[in-house]
Amino acid sequence: MDNLQIPLEIPDVKIGKSERSEDGDFVITVTGMIECTICHKCGRHITKSYGYDKAITIRHLPISGHKTFIRIHPKRYGCPFCEGKPTNTQKMTWYEQRSPDTASYEKHVLPELINSTVADVGLKEDIGCEAVMGIINRHTDGEVCRNNSERSDTIGTDEIPLKKGHKDSVTIITVGKGILSVVRGREKATVKAFLSGIPKRLKKTLRAACCDMYDGYINAVKEVSGKKVMAEADRFHAAKLYRKDSDGIRNQEMKRLKKKLTEKEYGKLKGALWALRKSGTDLTHEEREVLRVLSGHSRILRIAYELCNGLTGIFNENITKTEAIKKIGVRMDVVGLSGPDCLVRFISTLNKRPDEITNYSVNRQTGGFVEGLNNKIRVIKRRCYGIFNIRHLFQRIFPDFEGYAIFA
User: pLDDT tens-digit profile of 374-402?
Assistant: 788 888 877 776 678 888 888 888 888 87
100, part of any domain: no
Average pLDDT estimate for 26-43: 88
148 pLDDT more than 70: no
| 174 and 289 inside one domain | no
Average pLDDT estimate for 303-320: 91
373, part of any domain: yes
* pLDDT computed for residue 183 by the predictor: 86
Other residues' Cβ atoms within 10 Å of the Cβ of residue 114: 15
3-class DSSP assignment, residue 101: strand
| 242 and 227 inside one domain | no
DSSP-derived pairing of the beta strands 56-63 and 154-163: unpaired
104, part of any domain: no
Q: What percent of the chain has pLDDT over 90?
A: 25
For the entire predicted model, the pTM comes to 0.72
Please give the biggest Cα pair distance in the chain. 103
Instruction: State how far the Cα of 307 lies from the Cα of 243, in Å rounded to an integer.
Output: 10
| 340 and 241 inside one domain | yes
- Residues 209, 210, 215: CA angle, nearest 5 degrees: 90
DSSP-derived pairing of the beta strands 26-32 and 66-72: parallel
46 pLDDT more than 70: yes
Q: What percent of the chain has pLDDT over 70?
A: 93
| Domain around 66 | 1-95
Q: Count of domains in the chain?
A: 4
pLDDT digits (tens, 9 = 90+) for 275-292: 998 888 899 999 999 999
Is 271 or 148 the better-scoring residue by pLDDT? 271
| 71 and 122 inside one domain | no
* pLDDT computed for residue 172 by the predictor: 86
| 353 and 254 inside one domain | yes
* pLDDT computed for residue 1 by the predictor: 39
Eight-state DSSP code of residue 213: S
Give the closest residue to 8 by CA, choosing from 29, 23, 22, 36.
29
| 355 and 385 inside one domain | no
* pLDDT computed for residue 340 by the predictor: 52
Average pLDDT estimate for 72-92: 88
Query: Burial code of 44-76, b = ≥16 C-beta within 10 A, e = fewer?
Result: eebeeebeeeeebebbbbeeeeebbbbebbbbb
Give the closest residue to 161 by CA, choosing from 388, 368, 385, 372.
388
Q: For residue 405, give Cα distances in angstroms to 175, 330, 334, 408.
A: 16, 48, 51, 6
CA 78 and chain centroid, separation:
48
* pLDDT computed for residue 338 by the predictor: 59
| 317 and 252 inside one domain | yes
User: Which of the listed ranges 164-173, 187-196, 332-341 does the model predict with the highest average pLDDT?
Assistant: 187-196
Contact 72, 54 (CB under 8 A): no
Instruction: State how far the Cα of 139 lies from the Cα of 390, in Å rounded to an integer.
Output: 16
Element (H, E) at 286: helix 285-297
33, part of any domain: yes
Contact 290, 269 (CB under 8 A): yes
321 pLDDT more than 60: yes
| 357 and 374 inside one domain | no
Give the closest residue to 125 by CA, choosing from 141, 111, 139.
111
* pLDDT computed for residue 67 by the predictor: 92
Ranking 56-60, 70-74, 329-333 by mean pLDDT, the lowest is: 329-333
Q: What are the beta bridge partners of residue 163?
A: 168
